[in-house]
Amino acid sequence: MKKDLNVNFPEIQKRRRRRKFFFKSGFGLLLFGLAIFGVIRVVFYSPIFKFDHVVLSASDPEKEKILSLLEKKITQGSFLTRALGFKNFLAWPSQIQSQELAALPELESLTIEKNYQEKTVTITPVERQPSGIWCLEKNVPAECFWFNDQGLIFRESLAVSGNLIRVVSDYYQEHLVVGNQVLPDAFLSNFLSIFHVLTESDFSILEIALKDLSQEEIEVKTSAGPKIYFSLRHPADHYLAALKSLTQNPKFNRLEYVDFRIENRVYYK
């Protein structure tokens, strides 16, 4: 008897191609999985991404605060940074955003440099530069703070006097803390323009006084000349030339006052 040779060769070839495809796909997935495993092992466990030392040029109290801030950012950050750990280069950012430095108001910025060859992370803090001192005179003794050119209070200060550092005597406000602005937004920019004019002027100042914020004015007492009045309702930058011109007048020291409270007008007596 003859056997039935009616075999479906196209179907057999189709099955063979399907098996070959699944074999290649499975082998490819295996290789991909091994590659991922290798990358994870290198990233998390290899000494390539591990560092030994943190280099930080700051005073001891500030150094402790900075390291605490960075450690908190890494160990309480995303799942990836937490998994990488504090000693892994990849967990560290290259720079800390200004809003993240709210806990360190004395710092303007904080940059981070990674040296893979020397296994070090170098942290460079940039401190805020003081423009003047703000003193709350209602408190006994007066409570004083350093503030920068943006009007931000960043450090407590002792009460001082003299012409080397401009001091503002605030007889109106009672409570300010580090991290605050010296004045509300509505007055801050105009005050800073007044302070700039006084800093750029070359005469001796006894006192820069804020007596009543509701009057929206600053009173300046000079050591051998008139009182000078500025308004907080408008900027004062354009008064600098007029003020310098007046101080060169031989009769300036005999004036009773100079008044810049009306915008674009100068009155003196």
Structural domains of the chain in order of their starting residue, each with its CATH number: 49-127 (3.10.20), 132-268 (3.40.50)
> How many whole angstroms separate alpha carbon 253 and alpha carbon 247?
8
Q: pLDDT digit of tens for each residue in the chain (269 aa)?
A: 444 545 555 666 666 666 666 666 665 665 555 455 445 544 555 666 787 888 887 666 678 888 888 888 777 777 767 777 778 777 778 778 777 888 888 888 888 888 888 888 888 888 889 999 999 999 889 999 999 999 999 999 987 766 678 899 999 999 999 999 999 999 999 999 999 999 888 778 889 999 999 999 999 998 878 999 999 999 999 898 888 888 888 888 888 999 999 988 888 88
Pairwise CA distance, residues 198 & 222, whole Å: 11
Contacting residues for 95 by C-beta, under 8 A, at least 6 apart? 109, 110, 111, 112
pLDDT of residue 158: 86
Q: Give the pLDDT score at 202.
A: 74
Question: What does the angle CA 41 – CA 44 – CA 46 come to, to the nearest 5 degrees?
Answer: 70
Sheet holding 107-115, edge to edge: 53-56, 120-127, 107-115, 95-96
How many C-beta atoms surround the C-beta of residue 255 within 10 A?
16
Q: Is the pTM of this model over 0.85?
A: no
Exposure b/e, 110-137, CB count within 10 A at least 16 = b: beeeeeeeeeebebebebbebbbbbbbb
Residue 38 pLDDT: 47
Give the pLDDT of residue 17: 66
What pLDDT shows up at residue 253? 85
Give the integer Cα–Cα distance in Å for 92 and 48. 15
Query: Is the bond leading into 235 cis (omega within 30 degrees of zero)?
Result: no
